[in-house]
Amino acid sequence: MSHALILLAHGSSDARWRAPFETLEHDLRARLETPTVIAYMELSEPSLETRVAELYDQGHRRLDILPLFFAAGRHLRQDVPAQLEALREQYPQAALTLLDPVGQHPAFVEALAGIVTSRVEASLER
């Protein structure tokens, strides 16, 4: 079963807000063997529904959705599961899995600690 990864961000109508997510998508595509795309939950395109349709049409039947959120709030507990339920009805041959948000992964804490440390060191050098 062909596998793909959807990076899910909240979304904004402001293109400047979306730019870092588009850069992340580009950078991860270059580093991962798994096809990787960005999708937005609301206010932006491509939406989660658009990305699922595209990937399904490309033959991907196992789609992991990785929320680019610090924690699981209302969106990840209610809104996204409701979207996925509708998508599962529309694409019954697809296995759609909502992963834990990146902020809950131990590696995220390590990465954030590294960023904080480098920023503090840089400010002390000024």
Number of domains in the chain: 1
Cα gap 3→38, rounded to integer Å: 15
90: part of which helix (H) or strand (E)? Answer: helix 80-90
- Omega of the bond leading into 46 within 30 degrees of 0 (cis): yes
Q: Which amino acid is at 72?
A: A
Instruction: Give me the CATH number covering residue 17.
Output: 3.40.50.1400
Per-residue pLDDT, averaged over 61-79, amounts to: 89
**pLDDT given at position 120:** 76
27 pLDDT band (50/70/90 cuts)? Answer: very high
* pLDDT of 4: 98
User: What value does the mean pLDDT of the chain take?
Assistant: 92
Residue 16 has pLDDT above 90, yes or no: yes
pLDDT of res. 25: 96
Convert 35-49 to b/e letters by CB count within 10 Å (16 or more is b). ebbbbbbeebeebbe
Mean pLDDT, to the nearest integer, of 52-81? 92
Summarize the confidence of residues 107-124 as an average pLDDT: 85
* Domain ranges, residue 27: 3-125
> Could you say which DSSP state residue 93 is in?
T
Is the Cβ–Cβ distance between 37 and 49 less than 8 Å?
no
Q: Count H helices, E strands: the chain?
A: 5, 4
pLDDT tens for each residue of 29-52 = 999 999 999 999 988 999 999 999
For the question of whether the overall pTM of this predicted structure is more than 0.75, the answer is yes
